[in-house]
Structure 1
Amino acid sequence: MSTFKQSIFLRIYAGLVCLVALVAILAYIIVQVINYQRAQDYREQMADGVAHVIAEVVARQPTVQSQKDWLADVSRVLELDLNFVPRTEINLSRTERNRLQDHHAIVRYDASKAIGDIYAQVDGQPNVYLHMQVDKLTEVQIKMIPILVLEDLTYFPGAEQQRLKELQPYFSYPLAFKKLSELNLDMDQLSRLRTDKTQTILLYRDSATMQGTTISAVSAYTNVPNRVLVLGPVPIFNWLPFKVFAGITLFSLFLLIMGVYFLILPLERKIGKVRKALNRVRKGSLDTRVTIEGSDEVANLGISFNMMTDHIQRLIEAQQELTRAVSHELRTPVARVRFGMEMLTDTDDYDARISQMEMIDKDIEELNKLIDEIMTYAKLEQGTPSLHFENVVIKDVLQQVIGEFDRIKKDKIISSQLPAQDITAEAEYRYLHRVVQNFVGNALRYCNSTVRVSGGIEDGFAYVCVEDDGAGIPEKDRAKVFEAFARLDDSRTRASGGYGLGLSIVSRIAYWFGGRVEVDQSPLLGGARFTMTWPIRQSSKQTMHPQKKVVTSE
Structure 2
Amino acid sequence: MKSIFFKLYSGLICILLLAALLGYLALQLVNQIRYENYLVNNVGGTFSLMAAGIVRHDGDKQQQWIEIVERLTGIPLEVGPLKEPERFTLYHLKKDNQALLIASDPGQQTASIALPLPGNSQHFVQAKLEDINQTVTRMTALLILNELGRHPKQQREAILKQLDQNFSYDLTLVTAKETELDQSQLRQLARGDIVINLNDTLSSNPFIKVYARFGNSGLYLTVGPINIFQWYPVSIIFLLVISGALLVLAAGYILIAPFEKKLKRLEQGINLAGTSKANPIELSGNDGISRMADSVNAMMLRIEGLIKQQRQLTHDISHELRTPVARMMFRVEGMSIDCLDTQQPHISGMKKDLGNLNHMIDEILTCARLDDNPQPLDKEEFDLLPLVQSMVYDLTIQHPDITFHNGSNCERLILRADDALLLRAIQNLLNNACRHCQSHILTTIKVTEKYIHIRVEDDGSGIPEEERERIFDPFIRLDKSRNRALGGFGLGLPIVQKVTQHHGGHVYVEQSPSLGGASFIIDLPIALLSREQPVYKTDKKADKT
Structure 2 counterpart of 1:120, which letter?
Answer: L
Q: What is the CA–CA distance in structure 1 between the aligned matches of 2:51 and 2:188, rounded to whole Å?
A: 30
1:233 — aligned with what? 225
The reply to whether residue 210 of structure 1 matches residue 201 of structure 2 is no
Equivalent position to 1:288, from 279, 282, 301: 279
Structure 2 unaligned blocks of 5 or more: 340-349, 369-545
Instruction: Tell me the amino acid that sits aligned with residue 335 of structure 1.
Output: A
Number of matched pairs:
344
For 2:195, which of 201, 209, 212 is the aligned residue?
Answer: 201
**Aligned counterparts of 2:157 and 2:233: Cα–Cα separation in 1:** 33
Match of residue 13, structure 2, among 11, 14, 17: 17
Distance in 1 between the 2:12 and 2:81 partners? 57
CA drift at 1:65: 5.2
Partner of residue 253, structure 1: 245
- Does 2:263 correspond to 1:271? yes
Contact 1:153-1:160 at 8 Å conserved across structures: yes
Equivalent residues of 1:83, 1:130 under 8 A apart: yes
Q: Indicate which of 1, 4, 7 corresponds to 2:2.
A: 4
Q: 1:159 to 1:251 in 2, by over 3 A?
A: farther
Question: For the Cα contact (< 8 Å) 2:38–2:229, is it kept in 1?
Answer: yes
Distance in 1 of aligned mates of 2:200 and 2:116: 36
State the one-letter code of the partner of 1:205. N
Aligned partners of 2:110, 2:241: CA distance in 1, in Å? 32
* Closer/same/farther in 2, CA of residues 161 and 303 from structure 1, 3 Å limit: farther
The CA distance in 1 between the partners of 2:270 and 2:182, in whole Å, is 81
Amino acid at match of 2:260: E
> What are the equivalent positions in structure 2 for 1:97-176 lying under 5 Å apart?
102-108=97-103, 117-125=112-120, 128-132=123-127, 142-155=137-150, 157-158=153-154, 160=156, 162-168=158-164, 170-176=166-172
Answering whether residue 214 of structure 2 is matched by residue 221 of structure 1, we say: yes
Local SS of the residue matching 2:140: helix
Q: Which amino acid aligns with 2:278?
A: D
Q: CA deviation at 1:111?
A: 9.6
- Counterpart code for 2:51: A
Q: Which residue does the alignment assign to 2:460? A: none
CA distance in 2, matches of 1:44, 1:68: 26
- Counterparts in 2 of 1:238 and 1:137: CA distance versus 1, 3 Å: closer
Query: Counterpart of 1:329?
Result: 320
Aligned to 1:187: 183
Q: CA deviation at 1:85?
A: 1.6
Kept in 2, the 8 Å contact 1:52–1:104? The answer is no
**Aligned partner letter, 2:279:** T
Aligned Cα root-mean-square deviation (Å)? 4.5
CA distance in 1, matches of 2:238, 2:248: 15
Once the two structures are TM-superposed, the CA of residue 143 in structure 1 deviates from its matched residue by 3.2
| Preserved contact between residue 208 and residue 224 of structure 2 (Cα < 8 Å) | yes
Say if 1:135 and 1:307 are closer, same or farther in 2 by CA, change over 3 A: closer
Scaled by the length of structure 1, the TM-score of the pair is 0.51
Paired position in structure 1 for 2:387: none
Say if 2:28 is the partner of 1:32.
yes
- Determine the structure 1 residue equivalent to 2:79: 84
The alpha-carbon deviation at position 254 of structure 1 amounts to 1.5
Change (3 A) 1:179 1:254: farther
Percent identity, aligned pairs only, is 26
Query: Take 1:344 and 1:24, find their aligned partners in 2: how far apart are those partners?
Result: 96
Contact 2:102 2:114 in 1 (8 A): yes
How does 1:419-434 map onto structure 2 within 5 Å?
Answer: none
| Matches for 1:445-464 after TM superposition, within 5 Å | none
With over 3 angstroms needed to count, the CA separation of the structure-2 counterparts of 1:256 and 1:344, relative to structure 1, is: same
Aligned counterparts of 1:279 and 1:287: Cα–Cα separation in 2 = 9
Alignment correspondent of 2:477: none
Q: Distance in 2 between matches of 1:281 and 1:68?
A: 94
User: Matched residues in 2 for 1:320 and 1:97: separation?
Assistant: 88
Alignment of 1:73 onto 2:65: no
Q: Deviations over 1:397-435 (max 9, x none)?
A: xxxxxxxxxxxxxxxxxxxxxxxxxxxxxxxxxxxxxxx
Q: Does the aligned pair in 2 maintain the 1:287–1:309 contact within 8 Å?
A: no
Q: Distance in 1 between matches of 2:259 and 2:279?
A: 20
